[in-house]
Chains A and B, each alone.
Chain A
Amino acid sequence: MNRDSNVYTFGFAAAMVLVVASVLAYTASSLKDLQAENVRKEKMQNILSTIGIETDREGAEKLFNTYIVEQLALRNDGTVDEAVDAFSDIKLAFELKKDANDQRFPLYVANVDAATYYIIPLRGAGLWDAIWGYIALNEDRNTIKGAVFDHKGETAGLGAEITQQWFMDRFVDEKIFNTSGDLVGINVSKTNNDPNDTDKDDHEVDAISGATITGDGVSAMIVERLQHYLPYLKANDLAYNN
């Protein structure tokens, strides 16, 4: 057999692709359940960490069931869609592509030591790929209790720093509504003259140097997602006296 002939070369390449493809497909599908379970528990872990409950992945499910008292799938008008399970049915990546009226907006209500928190999942675009996270609001549905961010492919050391605790901590105690009650969200700002983030009424946090577009993505994602929750958040018509 002539190993340098074109027929042999093409034949070898074709056979190789077939073999490799089937081996990888088989592995991926047989490990899928275990991987999905890890992702599910990590989601619980992330949701819990916005309200200040740190846990490892193993303990996440138990604590999640203890503290998260309601899981709502909201419509754009603030009513609850009972047919949809907020945790497992809603994939924000797909929801974001739909018209706002067809989307369902997940909301988790947590109860920790008699305090109520509202946790809203976020998803948007960073520089290279998707960014996402969770933001927890205090009982006033205005002040941020905690935030957690994650990303798929932001630059390590720059955009990827949004997952660092020091960045996420900057959002704590910031407010999403201004004094007139308009949603302004939190601006990840390069002109914020407040590097230590002591001013909690400016709706701004200090941006990360070299991560402008990722930071803008975070700002945009917060406003874009939160605006759909306005009917629910404002249902009680709270006063916004900061």
Chain B
Amino acid sequence: MSQPKSNKKPAIFFVAKAREPLFSKKNRALLKDPLDDNNPITVQVLGICSALAITVQLKPAIVMSLSVVAVMAASNVIVSILRNAIPNRIRIIVQLVVVASMVILVDQVLRAFAYDVSKQLSIFIGLIITNCIVMGRLEAFALGNGVWKSFLDGVGNAAGYGFMLILVAFFRELLGSGKLYGYQVIPDALYEMGYENNGLMLLSPMALITLGIIIWVQRARNRKLIEKN
């Protein structure tokens, strides 16, 4: 079969569907909303467990945030790619397997390249699997949306989670140990004048209270979040 090659491409390629730009307003909202209006921690109150546990210092909080960004973006993308192939009856199992394998990957990489941090985070990395935010976004978003949108949604929600984690860790490390990212920031002179670190800040209850104050400030700024009645 030798057909003369025509320069004309099949017509279907010319029927350009009005494509959404990569960062359309809707897509930007996917990234931005979870940072404030729809923050997974302060508004949806998900993922609180790890937010309390690993916010004693900035460093683990940052590593944890990056890990969650990686896990959520990757698993959202994978589930979104497979969304038309995943058998409905085992979709939760499939989501779990995807998240679990991403988490193991992150754990392995940390063990090889950031050993101390991985020891510190040990159990919490494993607990990303049970982080409600991850499963929640897979079930609520990735299963019904395209790859790019799911990616943005994953990054956005993980960033919203990470932002809160880092914010809480900032205050806890600053007030609890007088340090930021392991470096002392409260001058010795202040200690000599009788200032003392607040040991209570190092304990989990103060993470909850810090979080409460953050929610208060956020709602004072953002009136949309205040429930009516």
**CB pair A31 B111 closer than 8 Å:** yes
Least Cβ distance of B52 to chain A in Å? 12
Given A4-B87, A12-B86: A34 in contact with B112 (beta carbons within 8 A): yes
Q: A41 — nearest CB in chain B belongs to which residue?
A: B115
Say whether A20 faces chain B, with CB atoms less than 8 Å apart.
yes
**CB pair A20 B112 closer than 8 Å:** no
**CB pair B115 A57 closer than 8 Å:** yes
Residue in A16, A28, A156 whose CB lies within 8 Å of B97: A16
Given A23-B101, A27-B108: A34 in contact with B89 (beta carbons within 8 A): no
Least Cβ distance of A159 to chain B in Å? 13
Q: A150 — nearest CB in chain B belongs to which residue?
A: B119
**CB pair B97 A20 closer than 8 Å:** yes
Number of B residues near A (Cβ < 8 Å) is: 20
- Which residues between 128 and 183 of chain B lie within 8 Å of chain A, taking CB atoms? none
Say whether A8 faces chain B, with CB atoms less than 8 Å apart.
yes
**CB pair A24 B104 closer than 8 Å:** yes
Say whether B11 faces chain A, with CB atoms less than 8 Å apart.
no
Say whether B123 faces chain A, with CB atoms less than 8 Å apart.
yes
Q: Which residues of B contact A (CB under 8 A)?
A: 85-90, 93-94, 97, 101, 104-105, 108-109, 111-113, 115-116, 123
Q: List 26 A-B contacts (CB under 8 A).
A: A3-B85, A4-B87, A4-B88, A4-B89, A9-B87, A9-B89, A12-B86, A12-B87, A12-B90, A12-B94, A16-B97, A17-B97, A20-B97, A24-B105, A27-B104, A27-B105, A31-B111, A31-B112, A34-B112, A34-B113, A35-B111, A35-B112, A35-B115, A38-B115, A57-B115, A156-B123
A23-B101, A27-B108, A31-B111 given; name 4 further pairs at CB < 8 Å.
A4-B89, A9-B87, A34-B112, A57-B115
